Structure 1
Amino acid sequence: MKYDIVTQGARTAAFLLNEASGERSREQILLLKGATAFPAGQILSKNAAGKYVAFVAPADGATVEVAILYEGRDADNTADRYAAGVVRDCEVIESLLVGLTDPARVALAAAGIILR
């Protein structure tokens, strides 16, 4: 008997351990259009136009608004797309985050996002 092997990708909010009451940790965010699909748990930063992109480290001494994508989003070259992002006051599983760097750690900590 032959069985197919299925590999699952990141699941919606699998990275989220605990969040503030009333879903206060989440906000609707706007992802910049582009050819990149993002999985749940992708770390994002807000660009100068106010749209979220894959995390870009800020210049020394500058701050950046950061979010973790709540659920995966497909690529879309035609239009910006809305998504849910975890932006404050929560605990997350570090190993399930995508794009975690030292500058991202600092930005997440500043937003009250605790890595476990």
Structure 2
Amino acid sequence: MTVLVETRHPGEFILSEANGQRSREAITIASGAGIIAAGTVLGKVTASGKYIASAVGASDGSEVPAAIAIYGADASAADVAVSAIVRDAEVNGKCLTYHADRDQPAEKAAANTALATLGVIVR
């Protein structure tokens, strides 16, 4: 028997957001970032202004969470434009995806605190 695994749906993590979808912004996932799942916590690379998964060990600006991807994307070979939550929203923390090196509870809590400074509250 074949086992089917359902992945995250676009926007599944959003609990509430500002009127007029003011919480959203069009962003660019940087080429080479690989496959980004819906609900991935992203950081902004200072030099390019593009986004990649926010890694604790990064030193290019992306270590600071700055957005959450609403849709999944494959940025393995080219830049990809997606919508992201960047301000004034409440999100379900159980539906977020963090970079693999952000695996400790304290690291995830720090990411959630950084998102809170943007007005993105992780519940």
Q: If the TM-score is normalised by the length of the shorter chain, which range does it land in?
A: 0.7 to 0.9
What CA distance in whole angstroms lies between the structure 2 residues aligned with 1:37 and 1:103?
23
Secondary structure of 2:34's counterpart equals coil
Moved more, 82-91 or 100-109: 100-109
Shift, 1:33, TM fit: 0.4
Larger Rg computed on CA atoms: 1
2:16 matches 1:18: yes
Tell me the equivalent position of 1:104: 111
Structure 2: tracts of 5 or more residues without a match = 103-107
Shift, 1:25, TM fit: 0.3
Q: What is the TM-score normalised by the length of structure 2? A: 0.80
- How many matched pairs? 110
In structure 2, relative to structure 1, the CA distance for the partners of 1:33 and 1:91 (3 Å cut) is same
| Higher strand fraction (1 or 2) | 2
Shift, 1:65, TM fit: 6.1
Tell me the equivalent position of 2:67: 67
What CA distance in whole angstroms lies between the structure 2 residues aligned with 1:65 and 1:105?
8
Identity of aligned residues (%): 37
Tell me the equivalent position of 1:91: 90
Q: What is the TM-score normalised by the length of structure 1? A: 0.85
Runs of 4+ in 1 over 6 A off after TM superposition: none
- 1:6-45 to structure 2, matched below 5 A, reads 6-34=4-32, 36-45=34-43
Computed over aligned residues only, the root mean square deviation of the Cα atoms, in angstroms, reads 2.1
